[in-house]
Structure formats: C-alpha cells, structure tokens
Amino acid sequence: MTLLSLQGICKTFRQGEIEVEALKNIDLDVDEGEFAALVGPSGSGKTTLLNIIGGLDAPTSGTAHLNGIDITRLKESQLSDFRLFQLGFIFQAYNLVPVLSALENVELIMILQGRPAKERRARAQHYLELVGLGREMNRRPSALSGGQQQRVAVARALACEPRLVLADEPTANLDSENASALLDIMHKLSREQKTTFIFSTHDPRVMERAERLIKLRDGRIESDAVVEQADRAVPA
C-alpha cells in the first residue's frame, strides 16, 4: 500500500539575485512499512526533500500526498494538526525539553494530541522500555548520555504511533555501539508495527541497514534501489 506519493516536486531558493534549484522534478512513491534512506553528497537535496515530506517546508511546485492527503494544499493550522497526528520526527540535535524528564518528554506530544493522562503515561513508559530506558525514564536530558537522549527522541517519535517517521541524520552524534542499537530498535519496530521510516543520512551504518536506498545528486533522484541483505553496497 502506497503511503507517500510525490509528483513533480521542485524547490527553488533565492540567494540574493540568484535562484538555486534545490529539488528538480522529484517523483517518488514509498509504501507502508518501508525502511528507506535518502543518501547523497552535501547539497544534493536530502534535507530539503525530507522537510517537504514532513510539511516543514513547501515545494515551489508539485504535490505531496501522504496517507491520501495532499499536504501541499493544507493551510498552516491543518498542516500542524496533520504533523501532530500522522508524523514522527527524529532530529540529529535530539530537541528534548531540558526541564522535563525523559518520561515527560515522550508524553509531551501526546498531551498536545489531547490523549488522557493514564493512556499517555502508559504509552510513554512502554516505548521508553522498548528503547532500553526503563530505569532512566525519570532523568532529565542533562543526566543522560547522547545515545540515551537520542533513544528518548525515538521513543517520543514512536509513542504516538505515526504512519511515517522522518529521521534527519539520527546517528550522526552517536558512537558505533549506540548507533547500531538504535537502528536495531527502529528496524524491529518497523517490521512489527509496519511503521514507515525515511532517513536522510551520510552515515554508512544507516545505509547498511536500509532496505531501500534513494540516492540524490544535484536535486534529482540519481538512483532508487531496493537493497537485498546479501548485496548491501554503500553508494559513494
């Protein structure tokens, strides 16, 4: 089942008198439950494309249908609600609220969704245990390592059971052990819950785990391939 469908996505930025084409006529379909990575050199358009998929930026032209809804036509208030209920975000910088505990950070989005206190507390505890932080859930971010903070961010993104999780360089600040553990957790949840993941990454560790590699160069899709377990070459 197709969850995401992009058609003719273009994005142009103006830098003074110069127009820069960041994305050029992108067509892309992603099915429910895929574990995919946007890869390519710096400036290839990965983050711009991820931001358009997440409704954080609008394309200059083209359409982006997510779960059957053209998000390019939504008003800002509608788009905010759509992101709140349909999408999960994992950022390189974690973006945790420093004065809240790990548990409260995971609960925060569910509070915005209006979920009952008992439900959101149970879901937050469940997902923190899934990411291996059952004993640290009452600690604030400053008392957690970088790897633990990123796990909190993953639990926060997943606790609302979004249809799609967008992850922008989620392993960039992690050592190999923490990155591997985090990817194992996300891949397991993808398989068990049919959650769709799209990563934007330079990290070979993510590319090696991805089941689909979408390579961008100069704002275009240069290649798009499903990667078999036995043939996991990392693109240059």
How would DSSP label each residue in 77-132?
HHHHHHHHHHEEEEETT----TTS-HHHHHHHHHHHHT--HHHHHHHHHHHHHHTT
3-state secondary structure of 143: helix
Digit-by-digit pLDDT tens for the chain (236 residues) are 899 999 999 999 988 888 889 999 999 999 999 999 999 998 899 999 999 999 999 999 999 999 999 999 999 999 999 999 999 999 888 889 999 999 999 999 999 999 999 999 999 999 999 888 999 999 999 999 988 998 899 999 988 889 999 999 888 878 888 888 889 888 888 888 889 999 999 889 899 999 999 999 999 999 999 986 544 444 44
**Whole-angstrom distance, CA of residue 222 vs CA of residue 236:** 12
Contact (Cβ atoms closer than 8 angstroms) between residue 169 and residue 93: no
Look up the CATH superfamily of 2-226.
Answer: P-loop containing nucleotide triphosphate hydrolases (3.40.50.300)
pLDDT of residue 229: 54
Q: Please provide residue 13's backbone torsions phi and psi, each rounded to the nearest 5 degrees.
A: -110, 145
**Whole-angstrom distance, CA of residue 154 vs CA of residue 106:** 9
Confidence (pTM): 0.90
Q: Could you give the strand order of the β-sheet that contains 87-91, starting from the edge strand earlier in sequence?
A: 87-91, 164-168, 196-200, 35-39, 212-217, 220-226
pLDDT of residue 233: 45
Cα angle 62, 65, 70 (rounded to 5 degrees) comes to: 80
Tokens of 113: 């969704």
**Cα separation values, 95 from 151, 153, 196, Å:** 12, 8, 21
Task: Classify residue 64 by its DSSP letter.
Answer: E
**Whole-angstrom distance, CA of residue 166 vs CA of residue 103:** 21
Per-domain boundaries in the chain: 2-226
